[in-house]
Amino acid sequence: MAKILIVDDAQFMRTMLSKLIEEEGHEVAGEAVNGIDAVQKYKELSPDMVTMDITMPEMDGIEAMKEIKKVDPGANIIVCSAMGQKPMVVEALEAGAKDFIVKPIKPKKVKEALANILG
C-alpha cells in the first residue's frame, strides 16, 4: 500500500481519483488544490506518489513538479493533462514526470499508471 497525494483544482477529479486509488488498495495521503498547496503538502506528507493536474490556479502543475523535484529528486509524479496539452506533457516528461494520463480519465489508464510506478 502506497501513500498518494492528489493535486487537482477540481473537486470532481479529486473525488474520482481518490476512489480509484482506494480501489487499488492504496491510501490517499492528502489532497491539494493548487501548485503551492501541492508543494506544501508534499513536504508535510512525503507521499510515495503524486497525481498532478497541469492547469491550476496559483502555481501550475509543471512548476509545482519542478519545486517538488528540488526537494525530492526521486519523487514519483504522474501528470494529468487535457487533450490539447501535448506540449505541456512533453515539458513535464522532460522535467521528470514518470507518466501521464489524459483527461477525460479512464479508470483503466489510472490503474495501469499506478501499477507501473508502484510495482
Partner 1 sequence: MDIEEFQDLYATEAQEHLEILNNSLLQLEDNPHDLGLVKELFRAAHTLKGMAGTMGFEKVSNLTHAMENILDKLRNEEMAVSTEIVNLLFKSLDTLEILINDGEEALSFELEDIISELKGYASGEIEVSNDSNNIDEATTIHNFSIELSDGEIKSAKNKLTEGSVVFLLRVILEDDCVFGALRAKMVGDELESYGEIVKANPALQDIEGAEVDSEFQVLFISNFEDKEILDALDRISELKELDLEVIDDLNELKKAESKKNKNSSKKTSAKSLSKRLKSSSTIRVDVERLDDLMNLVAELVIKRTQVESIGESYQLDELNKKLKSLGKVTSELQNSVMNMRMVPINLVFNRFPRMVRDLAQEMEKEINLEIEGEDTELDRTIIDEIGDPLVHILRNAADHGIESPEERKKAGKDPAGTVKMSAFHEGNNVIIQIQDDGKGIDAEFIKQKALSKGVISQEEAEMLSDQETINLIFASGFSTSEEVSDVSGRGVGMDVVKNKIESLSGSVDIYSKVGEGSTFTIKLPLTLAIIQGFLINIADQKYVLPLETIQEIVKISPDDIKTIRQQEVIQRRGSVIPLISLRKELNKPEYEEIPEELSIVIIKIGEESYGLSVDSIIGQQEVVIKRINDLSDGVEKIAGATILGDGSVALIIDIEEVTLGK
Main-chain phi, psi angles of 113, to 5 degrees? -65, -40
116 touches partner 1 (CB under 8 A): yes
107 touches partner 1 (CB under 8 A): no
DSSP structure class, residue 74: T
Q: How far is CA 88 from the centre of its chain?
A: 14
# of chain residues touching partner 1 (CB under 8 A): 17
Neighbours of 109 (CB within 10 A): 14
74 touches partner 1 (CB under 8 A): no
102 touches partner 1 (CB under 8 A): yes
89 touches partner 1 (CB under 8 A): yes
Neighbours of 88 (CB within 10 A): 18
| Binding footprint of partner 1 on the chain (CB under 8 A) | 83, 86-87, 89-90, 93, 99-102, 104, 106, 109, 112-113, 116-117
